[in-house]
Amino acid sequence: MRPLYARVVKLPRWPRRSPTFGLLLGLLVSLTAVIAYSAYITSQLKGLRRLQSNLIDRNRKDSLQLLRIQNDLNLLAVAMRDMIDNDEPYPLTAWSSQFQRIRTDLDDAMRREGGFAPTSRSAEQSAELSRALAQFWNAAERVFLLAGEGNEKSARAQIQLSLQARQASLSTTVSRLLVQNSENENIAAQRIVEIYDRVQREVYAFLGATLAAILLTGFSMIRWTRRLFAQMAELSDRRSELAQKLITTQESTLRYISRELHDEFGQILTAIGAMLGRAGAHASDPARWRADLQEACEITQETLDRVRSLSQALHPVMLDEAGLLPTIDWYLPTMERQSGIAISYEKAGEPFEVTSTAAVQIYRVVQEALNNVARHSGAKRAWVRLQFSSSALQLEVEDHGKGIRVSSPAKPGIGMVAMRERAELMGGHVEFLSPVGGGTLVRLGVPKERIEARAKEHK
C-alpha cells in the first residue's frame, strides 16, 4: 500500500488566480447598484411629480371651482333673502335674470369642477351635488312660475320652505367637499414629506454602500498590488539565487570535467602510450607483446565506457532518439548499480507522446530526486512511479530516509530550486511531501494539454 501523507513541506507558492474577475465583479456590482438606484430615484421622482400634478394641483383647481360654486350659492342666498324681505318695490320675477346669470356661472363652475374632481371622490358624492343643484333649479323654476302667475305669497313661502333649505344643503355639501380637498392636500403633503425622507435615507444608505464598495475594491486592489509586488520581489530573489547557484554549479561542473579529463583520461592515455611503447619493445616476445596489447585494449574500453557515462550524465542522447520511457528504463538500473539503492519502478495508464523538451525536464527531475536520495537520505530503497492519465502526467519519487529539513524551507538547495523551475517551465507544479513514516516524496504534475502544446510547437 502507498503511504499516507501527513503534512506538506513545499516551497512557498503564491496563488495563480488573477484578481481580474474579482475586480470586474466589484465594478459590475457597483455599476448595477448605481443603475438600480438611479432607476429607483427616477421612479420616485415620477411618482412625486404625478402626486403633485394629479392630486395637489387637481385639488387646488377643484377647490377654486368649489369656492366659485360656494360664492354663487352665497349670491343666491342674498338674493333669496331680498326676495323674502320684500323691501324692494319689485315683483319676484325681477330676480329671474339674476338667477339665470348665477345659474349660467354655476353650470360652468360645475362643468369645470367635474373635470378637476380628485380621484378620491366617489361617484355618489359628485352625483349628489349635481342632483341637489338640479333639484334647486327645479324648485326655483316653480317659484318663478308661481310668481309669474301672481301668487307671490305662495312663491315666497316656497322660497322659505324649499329654496333656502336646498341652498343651505348645497352650501354644506360644497363646504364638505372643500374640507375633503383640504384633507387630501394634507395627506398628499404628508406623503411628499415621507417620500423626501425615504429618498434622503436611501441616499445616505446608497452613499454608504457605494463608499463601502469603493473601499472594498480599493483594499482589494491594494492587497493584490502588495501581493504582486511581493511575488515580484520573491521571483527576483529566486532568479538571483538561481543565477548564482547556476553559475556555481556550472563552474563546479566544468571543474569536474576538467579534473576528469586531466586526471583520469590524461593518466589513462599516458598509460596506454607507455603500454604501446612497452609492447613495441617486446615485439620479439609474442607472449609479452600480446599481454601488453590486451591490457591496452582493456584500458581503452574502460576509458570509452567512462566517456560514455560522462556523456550520458551531461545529456542522455537516448532522450532524443528513443524518448522518455526507454531512457528511464535504461537509467534506473544504471542508478541502482552506481548507488547501490534498490529502485522499484511502476508505470500506470496509457502513455502519450512527450516531446524531447518536456522529456528532458521530467528526466532531470527523476535524476535530481534519485541523486538526492543517494546523497542525503541514507535510504537503501526508493520508489519511482510514473502515471499517465487523460489530463496529466504525474511522477513520484519516494524514499523512507532522513527526509526534508523543515527548519529552513526558505533556503532550498539548488536541486529543489531546479526541480521547481523545470516544473514551471512545463506549466506544471512540484511538491515536496513528507510521509507519515518519514522520508521524502517528490511529486511532479504536468498537464497533458501543456505537453501537447509543446509537441505542436516542436513540430
Confidence category of residue 381, pLDDT binned at 50, 70, 90: very high
**Which stretch of 98-102, 146-150, 454-458 has the lowest confidence by average pLDDT?**
454-458
Mean pLDDT across 223-234: 84
Per-residue pLDDT tens digits for 330-346: 889 988 998 899 999 99
Confidence category of residue 15, pLDDT binned at 50, 70, 90: very low
Domain extents in the chain? 20-217, 316-458
- The residues, ordered by sequence, that sit 6+ positions from 402 with a Cβ below 8 Å of its Cβ are 376, 377, 378, 379, 438, 439
In angstroms, the CA 206 to CA 200 distance is 10
Q: What percent of the chain has pLDDT over 90?
A: 12
Residue 277's pLDDT is what?
A: 67
More confident residue, 449 or 296: 449
Task: Rank 198-212, 379-393, 407-421, 427-441 by mean pLDDT and report only the highest.
Answer: 379-393
Statement: residue 229 has pLDDT above 90: no
More confident residue, 29 or 424: 424
DSSP3 helix / strand / coil % (the chain, rounded to 5): 75, 10, 15
- The residues, ordered by sequence, that sit 6+ positions from 245 with a Cβ below 8 Å of its Cβ are 414, 417
Residue 407's pLDDT is what?
A: 45
Burial of 16 (0-12, 13-18, 19+ CB in 10 A): exposed
Residue 9's pLDDT is what?
A: 39
Q: Render the burial of 44-79: b for 16+ CB within 10 Å, e for the rest.
A: eeeeeeebeeebbebbebbbebbebbbebbebbbeb
Residue 264's pLDDT is what?
A: 64
Per-residue pLDDT tens digits for 30-82: 778 778 777 877 777 777 777 666 667 777 888 888 899 899 989 988 888 88
DSSP 8-state assignment for residue 93? G
More confident residue, 407 or 19: 19
DSSP secondary structure of 215-238: HHHHHHHHHHHHHHHHHHHHHHHH
> What does the mean pLDDT of the chain come to?
78
What the block records as the C-alpha cell of 325 is: 520511457
Residue 105's pLDDT is what?
A: 92
In angstroms, the CA 260 to CA 265 distance is 6
More confident residue, 183 or 12: 183
In angstroms, the CA 316 to CA 171 distance is 117
Q: What percent of the chain has pLDDT over 70?
A: 76
Confidence category of residue 204, pLDDT binned at 50, 70, 90: confident
- Spell out the SS3 assignment of 340-363: CCEEEEEEECCCCCCCHHHHHHHH
N-to-C CA span, the chain: 41
Confidence category of residue 452, pLDDT binned at 50, 70, 90: confident
Residue 225's pLDDT is what?
A: 83
In angstroms, the CA 153 to CA 147 distance is 8
More confident residue, 383 or 304: 383
The residue whose grid cell reads 512527450 is: 354
Residue 458's pLDDT is what?
A: 56
Give domain 316-458's CATH superfamily. Histidine kinase-like ATPase, C-terminal domain (3.30.565.10)
What the block records as the C-alpha cell of 153 is: 305669497
DSSP 8-state assignment for residue 399? E
**Which stretch of 216-230, 256-270, 310-324 has the lowest confidence by average pLDDT?**
256-270
Per-residue pLDDT tens digits for 243-285: 566 656 655 665 666 566 556 666 676 777 666 666 666 666 6
Per-residue pLDDT tens digits for 134-190: 888 998 898 889 888 888 888 888 888 888 888 888 889 888 888 888 887 788 778
Statement: residue 406 has pLDDT above 50: no
**Which stretch of 2-11, 336-345, 406-415 has the lowest confidence by average pLDDT?**
2-11
DSSP secondary structure of 102-159: HHHHHHHHHHHHHHH--TTS-HHHHHHHHHHHHHHHHHHHHHHHHHHTT-HHHHHHHI
Residue closest to 133 by CA, chosen among 155, 120, 151, 114: 114
Is the CB of residue 5 less than 8 Å from the CB of residue 435? Answer: yes
What single-letter amino acid sits at 73?
Answer: L
